[in-house]
Amino acid sequence: MEVSKAHVAIVGAGFGGLEAARQLAHASVRITMIDRHNYHLFQPLLYQVATAGLGPTDIARPVRAILRRQRNLEFRMTEVTGIELAARKLATSTGEISYDYLILAVGGETSFFGLQSVAAHAFGLKDLDDAVRVRNHVLEMFELAVHEKNPEVRRALLTFVVVGGGPTGVECAGALSELIRLVLIRDYHGLNIKDVRVLLLEASDKLLPVFPETLRESAAKALWEKHIEVRFGAMVTEFDGKQLVLKSGETIPAHTMIWAAGVRAVRWLDSLGLPQDRQGRIKIKPTIQTEAHPEVYVIGDAASLPDGDGQALPMVAPVAVQQARTAAANIQHALRDEPLESFDYHDRGSLATIGRNAAVARFGRFGFHGFFAWLLWLGVHITFLIGFRNRLMVLINWAWDYLLYDRAVRLITPNGAKH
């Protein structure tokens, strides 16, 4: 009689979920991978979709195409709405799914820190819809501005504010400024470039906090050279879609705000009753399991595990991928009644680009900036993109844009507007 195989449910086909599935490809388990989307999204290049450099299909790939050769895996496109932890069952929008082991790899979402007016009017940058909405909106602002007679309104239409001086904010501000100064200004002859402002607002006194000081300074300098007004100690308290208010009381007329200041674990995890940190991430043990339910593993942006200094590990792709490997290994150890492994994070460094020929690269306490850092950034992103077709398309797009100062995806497409 054939013994039935343990059933592993993996929720989330992001960086962590995909790696966990691959690590279990030859294990004697049955896997159900679940995601609310039918695609895996390469989030590090979302800002390029938002700034018309790449199209959505360049940075996303169907999960079924990625995992089609994995015989022990079945994919279900459905939304998980809750978990009955004691009964080991997932509630989904299309019915229940039982499991023996669960890997929760559900990622994060934008956090507006309870600022309701900002949440209502600013754009987040976490999914393809967000990125396409930003692209549409930026292009629409130019369509409106070119016919606007009132100079104050025109300037507000052409003021683009990015909030948050982490890698996403820096990359987004740099790409936006280049889109405007290198490309759009040639499309809209009637506009005066002096009416355009790109601001990067950071509440603390530094950009790119994980980088050493010299690299932070070179990044700030590169942003200034790309005509981005970087403001430190600038904390946004309100935004009504036409004007933002800072904590100091200063107001800035602007019709566009891109919020790159905060992320948290996806909100529906709050209903599980498992211990969470301040960002809503579920606290896990070094074995990647939850304390109360050893059959439940949580990885990536949804998980909170302190590093050596007691700080939760960052919400970045390498943490998700490495935790996926430990979770997959420990499920196999548990099946064989072997002792479990503890997670040990290997930080291989960080990269951030500010635009054409400009990037910063950090390895441990060392780093460099400029053209070679930018080449490294290009190489790493091409390498980690999933799928040969996507790599090729992105490479062709980048070469085209670099040589011809173009952005091919300058399309305003039907898509739900933010306001």
Ligand X SMILES: Cc1cc2nc3c(=O)[nH]c(=O)nc-3n(C[C@H](O)[C@H](O)[C@H](O)COP(=O)(O)OP(=O)(O)OC[C@H]3O[C@@H](n4cnc5c(N)ncnc54)[C@H](O)[C@@H]3O)c2cc1C
Catalytic center residues: 171
Cβ neighbours for 332, distance < 8 A, ≥ 6 positions apart: 24, 27, 29
* Tokens representing residue 90 in the block: 């997932």
- Cβ-based nearer residue to ligand X, 55 or 107: 107
Helices (H) and strands (E) in the chain, counts: 12, 24
- Cβ-based nearer residue to ligand X, 118 or 156: 118
* Tokens representing residue 179 in the block: 């889109």
Least CB distance to ligand X at residue 214 (A): 20
Q: How far apart are CA 201 and CA 266, in angstroms?
A: 25
12 binds ligand X per the rule CB under 6 A: yes
- Cβ-based nearer residue to ligand X, 50 or 196: 50
> Exactly one of 6, 8, 13, 141 binds ligand X (CB under 6 A); which one?
13
> Exactly one of 301, 361, 390, 407 binds ligand X (CB under 6 A); which one?
301
Q: How many residues does the chain have?
A: 419
Q: What are phi and psi of 227, to 5 degrees?
A: 65, 30
Strand 108-110 to 263-265 pairing: antiparallel
Q: Where are the alpha helices (DSSP H) in 122-184?
A: 128-145, 151-157, 167-178
Residues from 88 through 107 that contact ligand X (CB under 6 A): 105-107
- Candidate segments 36-44, 149-157, 274-282, 362-370, binder of ligand X by CB under 6 A: 36-44
Terminal CA-to-CA distance of the chain, rounded, Å? 61
Q: Burial of 194 by CB count in 10 Å (0-12 exposed, 13-18 middle, 19+ buried)?
A: exposed
Q: Where are the alpha helices (DSSP H) in 67-115?
A: none
Residues from 236 through 275 that contact ligand X (CB under 6 A): 266, 268
> Exactly one of 6, 10, 31, 34 binds ligand X (CB under 6 A); which one?
34
Q: How far apart are CA 269 and CA 272, in angstroms?
A: 6
- Candidate segments 33-41, 141-149, 330-338, 407-415, binder of ligand X by CB under 6 A: 33-41
Residues from 165 through 184 that contact ligand X (CB under 6 A): 167-168
Q: Which DSSP letter does residue 256 get?
A: E
Residues from 116 through 155 that contact ligand X (CB under 6 A): 125-126
367 binds ligand X per the rule CB under 6 A: no
11 binds ligand X per the rule CB under 6 A: yes
80 binds ligand X per the rule CB under 6 A: yes
Q: Cβ-closest residue to ligand X?
A: 14
Q: How far apart are CA 273 and CA 318, in angstroms?
A: 27
- Cβ-based nearer residue to ligand X, 196 or 222: 222
Yes or no: say if 180 and 228 are a contact pair by the CB < 8 Å rule: no
- Cβ-based nearer residue to ligand X, 191 or 305: 305
Least CB distance to ligand X at residue 278 (A): 17
Q: Which residues bind ligand X (CB under 6 A)?
A: 11-17, 34-37, 43-44, 46-47, 79-80, 105-107, 125-126, 167-168, 266, 268, 300-302, 315-318, 320
